Amino acid sequence: MKYFKPNQTQNPATQRFIFATGIECSYPTIETSKGRERVDEMEKCRHYDCWRTDLKLTCELGIHYLRYGPPYYKMHLGPGRYDWSWTDMVFPEMHRLKIVPIVELCHFGVPDWLENFQNPDFPKCFAEFARAFAERYPWVRFYTPVNEIYIAAEFSAYFGWWNERLQTHRGFVTALKHLVQANVEAMLAILNVRPDALFIQSESSEFTHPASPDLVDEAEMLNERRFLSLDLNYGRRVSSGMYEYLRDNGMTGKEYDFFMGKNLREHCVMGNDYYTTNEHLLVDPETRVFGGETFGYYVITRDYHKRYNLPIMHTETNHIEPESERWLWKTWRNIQKLRHDGVPICGMTWYSLTDQVDWDTALRENNGNVNSLGLFDLDRNIRKVGTAYKKLIQQWSYQPLLPNGPLTLTGEWDPEILKHPPEHWGQNDPSTGKRDETEPV
């Protein structure tokens, strides 16, 4: 069988597809037999000790974008008071290594003085911190102000696992509205300092399947509720059912109007996270269990893209060994199929750079269990999935940022690329002047 390979001309101003990883940096509070404790994943994963090595390993994989969350709970000491000692060490080195940080300013927790996500002062205080951060590091352009808003609200105020540890719809809505308001206010504050800032809103992509016919309506409600964080963040009007749900559980009309009155979409890339645990099986009105990969990343991402019609970056996935390498390539094939079908996905992320600790209990217990989810283990030895990701990046790094069109996130291009094109451009490189001939397959 033969096929015709077109003579593709590369645009040197078009940015290439983004391959990223991240430093696991969650820091919620939990209740243990010893009382209230802070879970700090950067401490458990030894990033505080190994940060220089971690940045070096990021570069060695050929990765130029790093999701990175400074320890907000340590840095924001009080209103108008900040400790920049950690970021003043790490960020200049990141800049020197030409690593582009996607900065997460809040990752599942707040400083002790702010208590938790039920605090109505949190959005205003957080926005002040975001502005101060942007002023101190004006070269940073990419942000995720609040990471996984939906998960933060659900785990903290509906499941009762973290922080405020509530188990009510009202608690969930209160946490949700404060988290989204904090995110929106932070975006506005950052834009006052850096008008060209871009916000890659990492959010969990969810779906709930009913286990029986009598649970269809309940599952449908949960499948509407999963969109609330992004609906409010992007100023998209919610359904009538979700509007009643929000109002019944404490959101005022004025608060709702605040979200509908903001349109920051021109600064936004929708980040979506997908794990096998993102699909749930509703077995009774109050209980969801692991549903496994039923629809998969392709189907669920199309749902989110249809709803928001924004560029997308795949911002999180992982899988425990020994299935991690297979999962990596499966995820990549889903991304390729989505791009082929016109969904504008601009990046992929394996999260995280290193193994994690105690995520087998969703950080609810301090057991010290190492979860083999990283590209490297906690001794910084590369795992098979790390080798596979490096190979994937080498093979596919020539792809344009989006499936079609001369687009870029940087607004800059290097004329040297025409003199020294990536080897993967091969005969498609305009400097060769060659035309591809028909090839046998």
pLDDT, mean over the chain: 93
The span from the CA of 280 to the CA of 160, in Å, is: 18
Question: Could you read off the pLDDT of 86-130 as tens digits, one per residue?
Answer: 999 999 999 999 999 999 999 999 999 999 999 999 999 999 999
Give yes or no for residue 231 having a pLDDT over 60: yes
State residue 11's pLDDT score.
82
Give yes or no for residue 168 having a pLDDT over 50: yes
Question: Could you read off the pLDDT of 46-74 as tens digits, one per residue?
Answer: 999 999 999 999 999 999 999 999 999 99
State residue 440's pLDDT score.
28
148 vs 420, residue with greater confidence:
148
- Determine contact, residues 325/386, Cβ cutoff 8 Å: no
State residue 414's pLDDT score.
57
| Most distant CA atoms of the chain, gap in Å | 71
Q: How confident is the model at residue 436 (pLDDT cuts 50, 70, 90)?
A: very low
Angle of CA points 343, 349, 352, to nearest 5° = 155
Q: Which residues contact 314 (CB under 8 A, 6 or more apart)?
A: 271, 272, 273, 274, 297, 301, 331, 335, 345, 347, 348, 349
CATH 3.20.20.80 in the chain, residue ranges: 21-223+265-397
Structure tokens at 354: 């290193």
Question: Could you read off the pLDDT of 308-366 as tens digits, one per residue?
Answer: 999 999 999 999 999 999 999 999 999 999 999 999 999 999 999 999 999 999 999 99
Q: Which of 313, 199, 195, 183 is nearest to 265 (CA)?
A: 199
Answer whether CATH 3.20.20.80 is correct for domain 21-223+265-397.
yes
Q: What is the CA 136 to chain-centroid distance, rounded?
A: 23
State residue 7's pLDDT score.
82
State residue 410's pLDDT score.
61
What share of the chain in percent tops pLDDT 90?
87
State residue 425's pLDDT score.
47
Question: Could you read off the pLDDT of 351-392 as tens digits, one per residue?
Answer: 999 999 999 999 999 999 999 999 999 999 999 999 999 999
Q: Which residues contact 89 (CB under 8 A, 6 or more apart)?
A: 51
Question: Could you read off the pLDDT of 245-296 as tens digits, one per residue?
Answer: 999 999 999 999 999 999 999 999 999 999 999 999 999 999 999 999 999 9
State residue 405's pLDDT score.
67
Mean pLDDT of 217-236: 98
Q: How confident is the model at residue 221 (pLDDT cuts 50, 70, 90)?
A: very high
Structure tokens at 10: 């590369």
Give yes or no for residue 404 having a pLDDT over 90: no
Q: How confident is the model at residue 234 (pLDDT cuts 50, 70, 90)?
A: very high
Give yes or no for residue 433 having a pLDDT over 60: no
